[in-house]
Amino acid sequence: MIKPTSSQLEIRDEEALDLLVVAPAGCGKTEALALRIQGLLARGTVLPPQKVLVVTFSNRARDNIRERLEEYLKGSVLRDRISITNFHGLAARIFRAHANVIGLEPDLMLPTGDWVGAQCRALGFDFSTTAAVQVALREAKQQFRTDTEVDAYLTAPGRESALEIERKRVAEGRLTYDDLPRVAELILANDSVADLYRAHFGCVIVDEFQDLTLQQLRIVNRIGFRRTTFAGDLAQGIYGFAGAKPKEVDEAIRAECGKVIEFSESHRSSPAVLAMVNALSVQTGGVKLRAADPASWPGGGLASSVKHESADTEAGWVSKVVRAIISRAPQQRIGILSRTVNRRRFVEAALSAAEVPFFRWDDGVVDTETARLMRAMLSRFDSRRYDMAQSKQDFLLEAAGFAAVLEPSVRENLVDALQWCEDLLREGLSAAQIKARIRVGDSTTLITAPGVHLLTGHVGKGQQFDWVFVVGLEEGVLPDFRATTVAEKSEEARVLSVMLSRARHGVVVSWAEVVPSLANKPLRKQASSLLPMLTAAEPGDAATLVDWFKETNWSDIAAR
């Protein structure tokens, strides 16, 4: 069992229920929340039959907390006294139990995938139209609105496509992921229902508060106002595009909570990595961090910034350095991160040419059970029947045996994987080629596998690598060209901060002066406007990286 830090023990022992925990990346937040729950139960703050409600944003985060709780609580206590769910799971539970309160049938179809996106593709919408539809629907549904009021909102000029899809949703008797929190909020507006949940849950724990929408915060407050522990970090708020409002939520939580505990010690990253992360704190609003045990990091860790003539030169150089790390520490994890999949394609090509195996996190199969089901389906895949199928999605669901899968999290992961599979089939890949890209399974998952991992900043949130390479640090890529407001540019800085803070031993950022377009037209690039902030942390260059590699004891690195 991990020995708790003084901050984690302070969180465990805090008697006030209205608590804000500011916990930057690598500071032991999940452990602190597990200890917090143990303390609440041990002190009798939450007595039977009441439970502790733990709400996360992903199945992965949910499973992480459950795993840590298993270290501190008996299985029967964990089963009987704790409810751990993500926001969509909580909303679905509220809807199924109380749909009649708002005049809806509880047997409406719950979402299992991106239904709106599928409708946009079926209607032949281009990228911009699809984005506009999704934004219109999200904005319509993140307010306190009934179906009738959503319909009225979408009748405004310019929202015709969104209205068409919304009316089809209602006619088919289904809910989307945007609908779930909307109907949950409508239901909880009924005082009798809200009282039931307040009586059932003695307190609430919210993980990653910076990712909350104002709607989700209102839902939490209807159940646990002034009885909620919020944990997270403004510097990791990167979901503004999905409606998250980090600053507004932070202000509301600080007004609600009587106690704030801030972490400032990182147990994940070396001093060199933290210097890069701290350099962005003015832009991200994050807490400046220090290494819990700086002397334990060989060579103090590594931070480098490298400029390249072209994206191909960058890719070749990254591939060479990655091979050098693998040869010295083959059991370590290397993350190659970019703002977009497109910008990372040069590194992927270089690794393939050098025959370096790697995991694509964009490939939609991250867990063992989903990998097993997908491999089995692709092994017996009938391409002729697939081509003839009127509904490709229905064909894949049947072929994968979706109806026989009962575990909710596996169902959700399988739907995501099947959508990924459909996209690749549409691009012309064969079933055998897709199967070859599924490299997890048995006892291996992307979360634990050593080796090289390719992913985007958003996908990598919450993960950890021994080494991180951030490629494509050019203006227009990171920050994204669509980020024009102060708030949007700040979020881009937070995306970069999240990428950097995944690293343990070392982080390398790089950019290229020439980057070919998708049409292979060479485009001149400028360094990212965020780069000067990083260089203020005095990272090394390519030459100092080579010297560091030569001078550092790699046996110590492999053991750390």
The class level of CATH for 6-90+186-263 reads alpha beta
How big is the chain, counted in residues? 560
Measure the CA–CA gap between 232 and 207, rounded to whole angstroms: 6
* Sign of the Cα pseudo-torsion (278, 284, 287, 293, in order): negative
Class of domain 271-361+446-559: alpha beta
Q: Encoding tokens for residue 219?
A: 């839902």
Chain centre distance of CA 202? 28
- Distance separating alpha carbons of residues 398 and 268, to the nearest angstrom: 43
- Cα distance between residue 168 and residue 171, in whole Å: 5
List, in sequence order, the alpha helices (H) in 52-177.
Answer: 59-69, 75-81, 87-98, 115-122, 127-141, 147-154, 160-172
Question: Tokens standing for 182?
Answer: 């909307």
Nearest to 335 by CA among 508, 477, 86, 474: 508
pLDDT number for residue 108: 94
Structural element, H or E, at residue 418: helix 408-426
- Give the pLDDT confidence score for residue 449 in this predicted structure: 84
The pLDDT, as a whole number, for residue 559 is: 86
| C-beta separation of 130 from 120 below 8 A | yes
Query: What is the token pair recorded at 402?
Result: 């979706």
Answer positive or negative: Cα dihedral of 439, 440, 442, 443: positive
**Do β-strands 290-291 and 265-266 pair in parallel, antiparallel, or remain unpaired?**
parallel
Helix axes 368-379, 408-426, angle to 10 degrees: 40
Q: Is 306 helix (H, G, I), strand (E, B) or coil?
A: strand
Residue ranges per domain, the chain? 6-90+186-263, 112-174, 271-361+446-559, 368-436
User: What pLDDT is stored for residue 57 in this prediction?
Assistant: 85
Give the span between the Cα atoms of 125 and 133, in whole angstroms.
9
CA distance 372 to 492: 36
| Strands 82-86 and 51-56, sheet pairing | parallel
CA–CA distance, 347 with 431 (Å, rounded to integer): 25
Instruction: Please determine whether the domains at 6-90+186-263 and 271-361+446-559 fall in the same fold group of CATH.
Output: yes
pLDDT in tens, the chain (560 residues): 568 888 899 999 999 999 999 998 888 899 999 999 999 999 999 999 999 999 998 777 787 888 889 989 998 999 999 999 989 889 999 999 999 999 999 999 988 778 999 899 999 999 899 999 999 999 999 999 999 999 999 999 999 999 999 999 999 999 999 999 999 999 999 999 999 999 999 999 999 999 999 999 999 999 999 999 999 999 899 998 889 999 999 999 999 999 999 998 999 999 999 999 999 999 998 889 999 999 999 999 999 999 999 999 999 999 999 999 999 999 999 999 999 999 999 999 999 999 999 988 876 665 677 888 999 999 999 999 999 998 898 999 999 998 887 665 677 778 888 988 998 898 899 999 999 888 765 555 667 789 999 999 888 888 899 999 999 999 999 999 999 999 899 999 999 999 999 999 999 999 999 999 888 899 999 999 999 999 888 899 999 999 999 999 999 998 88
Helices H / strands E in the chain, number of each: 26, 15
Looking at residue 322, its pLDDT comes to: 96
Amino acid identity at 422: E
Torsion of CA 186, 132, 346, 502, to 10 degrees: -30
Which pLDDT belongs to residue 326?
Answer: 95
- Please give the pLDDT value at position 477: 95
Cα(112)–Cα(97) distance, rounded to whole angstroms? Answer: 19
pLDDT at 111: 85
The bridge status of strand 503-516 relative to strand 465-470 is: parallel
Residue 40 in contact with residue 15, Cβ under 8 Å?
Answer: no
What was the pLDDT predicted at 437? 83
